[in-house]
């Protein structure tokens, strides 16, 4: 089998089976794993945990894919993803918790989803969130879904009825307490949304196995903060009836940062660069989510990664992988290491700089304030920060764009797009002061 990207493989499949027209005509298209395998392994072609990672041809035609058995899938213009609310959109208070001392648990380096779930249990975070006592881990791993059907919303027409028989689902954590069975989907990377299937398929499976109510928890551990979001399905047979019930954030460390902390950083920071594109080989920023820059910092804390592996872990396309690598480069956190594999093919490997390693090992508050300092070493951010601090208002994008032209940070054709990244980074700085400890 030739080694091609999932993007290219799906283009070939769409052409071969005329998938777009088939969906237009019938409302859906069924495809077998064996048909997908002609171009690429099915396991690499049908699991997109975030909508950002979908192949280009899926995005172009608003098409999504669901597994219907171990060897078959259905494609349609499904609405399959649920947006994850911004950290401070619904909640500004964070609970600080303690954890017993164990030599085998490093709370400053919780680097896997299973470790995150272990800490949720050891620290009683999960029981506090659920308002339960003594939740015990009872199941996890890959399982067959059993047989069920459901309705799912589409972008263009009425709902579609989908039939599933023994598709595979993977459960990160399954627990039980006196009053409920709990299914956890855990992530150690920040995504803008998640695939509802990750909760719905396990929910339908365990609904047939237990009598207790089932509670569904989506857990995100990133930047030393646990975010727990509980969801429910208002209708058993309606995939699209998902609803956020509540959310709460927890920290094992001090996360309280106030305006005075930011001012102290500003006052001690010396501007080191004006970002003039004529004087630097590092491109000006074009990464909108600063939380995802920090996610990449944490990924690289334990291993060097290639741009391709970063794209897979972060659910990016390769272009976004470059955006976020260059954002870290801009702050002095990431660097490239060119290597050659056994086939004499050059591979771009990315690693933390000495500064990046130092910051990755810092505690939460120290880390955030050091990153703010690195941002404010750039003249454009330094000036815009001071304007926000003194007026209490964020600048308009037009004002940011004027500053970008003044300092010649990028080409004219890039200014509008990248001004959004500047504004997003400024908002990230001031969001740090909006989380209160309880």
pLDDT tens, per residue, the chain with 438 residues: 457 888 999 999 999 999 999 999 999 999 999 999 999 999 889 989 999 889 999 999 999 999 999 999 999 999 999 999 887 655 556 777 777 777 777 766 777 788 888 888 888 899 999 999 889 999 999 999 999 999 999 998 789 999 999 999 999 999 999 999 999 999 998 899 999 999 999 999 999 999 999 999 999 999 988 999 999 999 999 999 999 999 998 988 888 899 999 999 999 999 999 999 988 899 999 999 999 999 999 999 888 888 788 878 887 777 788 899 999 999 999 998 866 565 556 677 899 999 999 999 999 999 999 999 999 999 999 999 999 999 999 999 999 999 999 999 999 999 999 999 999 999 999 999 876 656
CA distance 290 to 295: 9
pLDDT at 1: 45
Q: What total of structural domains would you count in the chain?
A: 3
The reply to whether 355 falls in a domain is yes
pLDDT at 346: 66
The reply to whether 115 falls in a domain is yes
- In contact, 348 and 336? CB cutoff 8 Å: yes
Strand partners, 94: 249, 437
Same domain, 52 and 158: no
The reply to whether 365 falls in a domain is yes
The reply to whether 24 falls in a domain is yes
Three-state SS annotation for 89-101? CCCCEEEECCCCC
The reply to whether 89 falls in a domain is yes
The reply to whether 117 falls in a domain is yes
pLDDT at 92: 56
Provide CB contacts within 8 A for 256, sequence distance 6+.
365, 435, 436, 437
Where does 276-344 have alpha helices with state H?
A: 290-300, 307-314, 318-330
Query: 3-class DSSP state for residue 364?
Result: helix
pLDDT at 196: 98
CA distance 339 to 348: 6
Same domain, 151 and 63: no
* H or E stretch covering 153: none
Same domain, 64 and 20: yes
Nearest of 145, 89, 36 to residue 427 by alpha carbon: 89
The last residue of one of the domains, among 61, 77, 93, is: 77
Phi, then psi, of 335 in degrees rounded to 5: -145, 160
DSSP 8-class letter at 284 = P
Alpha carbons within 13 A on the beta-carbon side of 228: 26
Provide CB contacts within 8 A for 178, sequence distance 6+.
132, 133, 134
CA distance 144 to 148: 12
Same domain, 274 and 209: no
Six token digits for residue 277 = 């594109």
Same domain, 357 and 388: yes
Same domain, 319 and 389: yes
Same domain, 273 and 400: yes
Nearest of 318, 290, 287, 275 to residue 411 by alpha carbon: 275
Same domain, 88 and 69: no
CA 101 to centroid of chain Cα atoms: 29
pLDDT at 318: 72
Same domain, 69 and 95: no
* H or E stretch covering 15: helix 6-17
Same domain, 130 and 186: yes
For the chain, the straight-line distance linking the first and the last C-alpha, in angstroms and rounded, comes to 56
pLDDT at 256: 87
Same domain, 38 and 98: no
Alpha carbons within 13 A on the beta-carbon side of 223: 20
The last residue of one of the domains, among 77, 93, 112, is: 77
Same domain, 88 and 237: yes
Six token digits for residue 153 = 């919303």
Question: What is the residue range of 28's domain?
Answer: 6-77
Six token digits for residue 96 = 């600080």
pLDDT at 345: 63
- In contact, 356 and 297? CB cutoff 8 Å: yes
The reply to whether 127 falls in a domain is yes
The reply to whether 1 falls in a domain is no
Burial of residue 65 (CB within 10 Å: 0-12, 13-18, 19+) is buried
CA distance 120 to 302: 21
Strand partners, 273: 378
CA distance 346 to 94: 45
């Amino acid at each position: 089998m030739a080694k091609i990207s999932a993007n290219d493989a799906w283009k070939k499949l769409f052409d071969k089976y005329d998938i777009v027209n088939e969906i237009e005509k019938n409302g859906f298209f069924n495809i077998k794993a064996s048909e997908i395998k002609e171009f690429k392994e099915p396991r690499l072609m049908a699991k997109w945990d975030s909508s950002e990672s979908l192949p280009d041809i899926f995005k172009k035609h608003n098409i999504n894919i669901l597994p219907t058995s171990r060897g078959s899938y259905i494609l349609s213009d499904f609405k399959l993803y649920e947006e994850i609310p911004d950290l401070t959109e619904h909640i500004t208070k964070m609970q600080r918790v303690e954890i017993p001392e164990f030599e085998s648990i490093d709370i400053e380096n919780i680097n896997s989803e299973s470790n995150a779930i272990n800490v949720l249990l050891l620290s009683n975070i999960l029981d506090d969130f659920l308002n339960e006592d003594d939740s015990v881990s009872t199941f996890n791993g890959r399982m067959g879904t059993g047989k069920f059907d459901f309705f799912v919303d589409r972008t263009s027409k009425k709902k579609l009825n989908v039939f599933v028989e023994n598709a595979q689902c993977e459960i990160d954590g399954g627990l039980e307490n006196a009053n409920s069975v709990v299914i956890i989907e855990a992530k150690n990377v920040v995504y803008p949304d998640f695939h509802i299937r990750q909760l719905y398929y396990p929910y339908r499976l365990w609904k047939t196995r237990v009598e207790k109510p089932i509670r569904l928890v989506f857990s995100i551990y990133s930047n030393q903060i646990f975010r727990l979001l509980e969801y429910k399905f208002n209708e058993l047979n309606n995939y699209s009836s998902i609803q956020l019930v509540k959310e709460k954030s927890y920290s094992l460390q001090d996360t309280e940062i106030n305006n005075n902390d930011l001012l102290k950083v500003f006052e001690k920071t010396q501007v080191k660069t004006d970002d003039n594109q004529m004087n630097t080989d590092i491109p000006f920023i074009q990464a909108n989510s600063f939380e995802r820059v920090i996610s990449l910092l944490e990924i690289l804390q334990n291993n060097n990664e290639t741009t391709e592996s970063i794209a897979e872990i972060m659910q990016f396309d390769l272009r976004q992988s470059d955006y976020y690598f260059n954002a870290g480069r801009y702050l002095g956190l990431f660097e490239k290491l060119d290597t050659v594999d056994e086939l004499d093919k050059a591979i771009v490997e990315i690693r933390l700089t000495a500064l990046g390693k130092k910051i990755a090992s810092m505690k939460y508050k120290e880390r955030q304030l050091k990153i703010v300092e690195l941002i404010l070493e750039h003249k454009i951010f330094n000036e815009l920060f001071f304007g926000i601090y003194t007026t209490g208002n964020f600048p308009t994008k037009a004002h940011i764009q004027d500053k970008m032209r003044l300092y010649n940070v990028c080409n004219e054709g890039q200014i509008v797009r990248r001004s959004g990244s500047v504004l997003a980074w400024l908002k990230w700085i001031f969001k740090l002061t909006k989380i209160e400890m309880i």
